[in-house]
Amino acid sequence: MSLTGFTRTRVAPDHALLTPDTFIRAPLPGWVNTACIVHIAPELGARFKMYTVEMQPGGTGEMSLLDIQRFAYVLEGEVALEVGGARHTLWANNYVYLPANTPHRFIAESNVRMVVFDKPYQALAGVDVPQVVLGHEPDIPSSPLMGDEDLQVRLLLPEHFSFDMAVNTMTFAPGAHLPMVETHVMEHGLLFLQGGGVYRLADYWYTVQAGDVIWMASYCPQWFGALGKTPSKYLIYKDVNRHSL
Ligand code: UGY
Ligand code: MN
């Protein structure tokens, strides 16, 4: 409870820092016995929706919209996923990509927290639509960003033109930082998984930590430097592989 009226949350036209003390829970169609915290949505100016679902045991989740693809990453708990006639069990750091118009159902086997990215799928002429992808983040090989061994990136989805979104994790050794102030056409939705540091967004520098969410609009200048004595890590979404014309 805040008796000061202070928060690190800040919303600007081209970026937002959203901290857990300001999260509001509400129901969303398709999710039963589940509280949803919408972090990033078209209302903010984004072209995708990023939200956390907090499922009670027995809670369920389905897709209630047409032509929307989904990426879900388990943060906590055990959740069954029924898709394509198969049943999978997902635990923390398991993730799934579900192509648009793929009927599926999540069923919580315990209290579950997942972060979900929903986005309209933009088909590409002559390119097959993607298949379901299931993965476990720690098992994905990592590679250094621009030769910096202290900054390791894992690509959770295949690098293929059939995908119009990418989701990666980035792990920074203490003191590591992005090599440049990136300014690019892709927009981002980011969840801090561990550690923290300083995030530059446009002309502002923010202290950030695990649990924080960041939206970066297209062309928002961005830079991060990790602080603390343990690695810092975030999950980051971006739109890729399409002309916006
Ligand atoms: O993939 C990216 O654009 C990533 N390096 N951006 C970021 O970490 N803010
Ligand atoms: Mn970037």
The CATH number covering residue 186 comes to: 2.60.120.10
- Give me the percent of the chain exceeding a pLDDT of 90: 98
Distance from Cα 87 to the centre of ligand 2, integer Å:
35
Residues 65 and 123 in one domain: yes
Residues 128 and 144 in one domain: no
Note whether residue 3 is domain-resident: no
Given a cut of 80, is residue 83 above it in pLDDT? yes
What backbone torsions phi and psi does residue 51 show, to the nearest 5 degrees? -150, 155
Per-residue pLDDT of 122-133, as tens digits, reads 999 999 999 999
Report residue 164's pLDDT band, with 50, 70 and 90 as the boundaries.
very high
Question: Which of 103, 137, 171 finishes a domain?
Answer: 137
Residues 133 and 149 in one domain: no
Q: Which atom of ligand 1 is nearest to the CA of 184?
A: 3
**CA end-to-end span of the chain:** 46
What backbone torsions phi and psi does residue 161 show, to the nearest 5 degrees? -65, -15
The b-or-e profile of 55-82 (16+ CB within 10 A means b, else e) is beeebbbebeeeebbbbbbbbebbbebe
Distance from Cα 16 to the centre of ligand 1, integer Å:
15
Q: Which atom of ligand 1 is nearest to the CA of 170?
A: 8
Task: Tell me how far apart the alpha carbons of residues 63 and 103 are, in angstroms, rounded to a whole number.
Answer: 7
- Looking at the CA of 222, name the nearest ligand: 1
Per-residue pLDDT of 192-228, as tens digits, reads 999 999 999 999 999 999 999 999 999 999 999 999 9
Distance from Cα 24 to the centre of ligand 2, integer Å:
27
Task: Tell me how far apart the alpha carbons of residues 238 and 245 are, in angstroms, rounded to a whole number.
Answer: 18
Residues 123 and 161 in one domain: no
- In 3D, which of 25, 9, 5, 6 has the Cα closest to residue 209? 9
Residues 82 and 175 in one domain: no
Residues 29 and 128 in one domain: yes
Note whether residue 11 is domain-resident: no
Contact 109, 89 (CB under 8 A): yes
Residues 151 and 123 in one domain: no
The predicted pLDDT at position 3 comes to 83
Q: Which two tokens stand for residue 46?
A: 């984004």
Note whether residue 8 is domain-resident: no
Residues 87 and 154 in one domain: no
Q: Which domain holds residue 179?
A: 140-239
**Number of domains composing the chain:** 2
Strand partners, 197: 208, 226
Note whether residue 15 is domain-resident: no
Per-residue pLDDT of 86-131, as tens digits, reads 999 999 999 999 999 999 999 999 999 999 999 999 999 999 999 9
Distance from Cα 145 to the centre of ligand 2, integer Å:
12
Note whether residue 164 is domain-resident: yes
Residues 179 and 163 in one domain: yes
Given a cut of 90, is residue 22 above it in pLDDT? yes
The predicted pLDDT at position 150 comes to 98
Residues 79 and 121 in one domain: yes
Pocket test for ligand 1, best of 188, 191, 218, 232 (most atoms within 8 A of CB): 188
Does the predicted model carry a pTM greater than 0.95?
yes
Note whether residue 9 is domain-resident: no
Residue 167: Cβ within 10 Å count: 23
The b-or-e profile of 116-151 (16+ CB within 10 A means b, else e) is bbbbebbeeeeeeebeebebebeebebeebeeeeeb
Distance from Cα 171 to the centre of ligand 2, integer Å:
14
Pocket test for ligand 1, best of 156, 206, 222 (most atoms within 8 A of CB): 222
Strand positions, DSSP E, 66-157 = 68-76, 79-83, 86-90, 94-98, 104-108, 112-120, 133-136, 143-145, 148-155
Residues 92 and 180 in one domain: no
- The set of protein residues with a Cβ atom below 6 angstroms from ligand 1 is 170, 178, 182, 188, 222, 236, 238
Cα dihedral across residues 208, 166, 67, 102: positive or negative: negative
Question: Which of 122, 137, 152 finishes a domain?
Answer: 137
Per-residue pLDDT of 48-66, as tens digits, reads 999 999 999 999 999 999 9
Residues 175 and 220 in one domain: yes
- Looking at the CA of 176, name the nearest ligand: 1
Question: Which of 137, 165, 187 finishes a domain?
Answer: 137
Average pLDDT over residues 9-25: 98
Given a cut of 80, is residue 2 above it in pLDDT? no
Distance from Cα 200 to the centre of ligand 2, integer Å:
11
